[in-house]
Amino acid sequence: MARQANDLMAQYAAYHRDRRNIATHFVGIPLIVFAIGVLLARAQFHVADWTVSAAWVVWGAATIWYLTRGNFVLGLSTAIVNAVLMALAHPLAAGSVGGWLAWGLGSFLVGWIIQFVGHYYEGRKPAFVDDLIGLLVGPMFVVGEALFAM
């Protein structure tokens, strides 16, 4: 849990060498993060005059983790991308229960299908199967790949 970004990224990259797999992650991982935002945004907490959703609480905890991995630029960039996905998710949680579940569960399912297609090309199981922290590293990996491409 306390490993540094460079070590985490190297371990994650070992599971992701096929370009098709990496390409699927650019779609699948943001969809999954978005879906989690949709599903958690409906749970609201009221503290004094503030209302905060479970999605923002989870985003805050993940952001602290990202910012403490030893690569501030990568951590901050990942936090910003995830914040945009959370902000886009919140309006969908405010709709009907059917719409909320359709967007949340639908995006989650499609995101994971895309991920598993990528891992079919890779010929390897997803990294989180061996190390659950891979679920947090995935978004950081996609952001890191995008930053490297720029």
In sequence order, what E strands does the chain have? 44-47, 50-53
What is the arithmetic mean of pLDDT over 69-95?
Answer: 95
The pLDDT assigned to 53 comes to: 95
Return all residues near 115 (Cβ < 8 A) that are at least 6 apart.
Answer: 24, 25, 28, 29, 32, 126
- For residues 60 and 53, give the distance between their C-alpha atoms in angstroms, rounded to a whole number: 11
> Which one is predicted more confidently, 141 or 63?
63
Helix (H, G, I), strand (E, B) or coil at 108: helix
Whether pTM > 0.75 for this model: the answer is yes
pLDDT band at 149 (very low <50, low <70, confident <90, very high): confident
Strand 50-53 to 44-47 pairing: antiparallel
Q: Is the confidence at residue 124, as pLDDT, over 90?
A: no
Q: pLDDT at residue 131 above 70?
A: no
Two tokens, residue 48: 């004094």
